[in-house]
Structure 1
Amino acid sequence: MRTRMKIQVDVIDLYRDMISSGRRFVSVRDVSRKLCTNALSASRVLARLEEMGYARKWSRGIYILVDAETLVANQY
């Protein structure tokens, strides 16, 4: 029998952590490993970052992180 569990992720903290590590591109697999979760959950986290404007889909399973300067420039 499978057990389901819901997790909560602070996507802003995840974004900051990835940016501070110097990563520009991030994959579903990277996030999956970092959060110790499956690829579907990781892809949902990345999709949420994209909705919030912190990432853009680059190719299948790969996202490019938006830098802080671009975020500030897009607010005005």
Structure 2
Amino acid sequence: MALLQGKCLLRDLRESVGFTQADLSTQLMDLYGVSISTSHLSRIERGERPMTTLQKRAVCLVLNCTERDLYEWILT
């Protein structure tokens, strides 16, 4: 069996706290010095770009979630 990363759930998490992509981008920079542009966030949310470990951690801190919450996980 293998555990695979599935669909990115960032958009759902972000919208559940009422943030736009610009809000999240600003919070990441202001609170943790992590720069993710709105266009990069869009690509992440569409599953076109991965997040680095640092970006994942900062996003989780801003959105009050765990890294496990960021993606659907598939056991094959």
- TM-score strictly above 0.5: no
Scaled by the length of structure 1, the TM-score of the pair is 0.28
Higher relative contact order (CA 8 A, sep 6+): 2
Q: Which has the larger radius of gyration?
A: 1
TM-score normalised by structure 2 residue count: 0.28
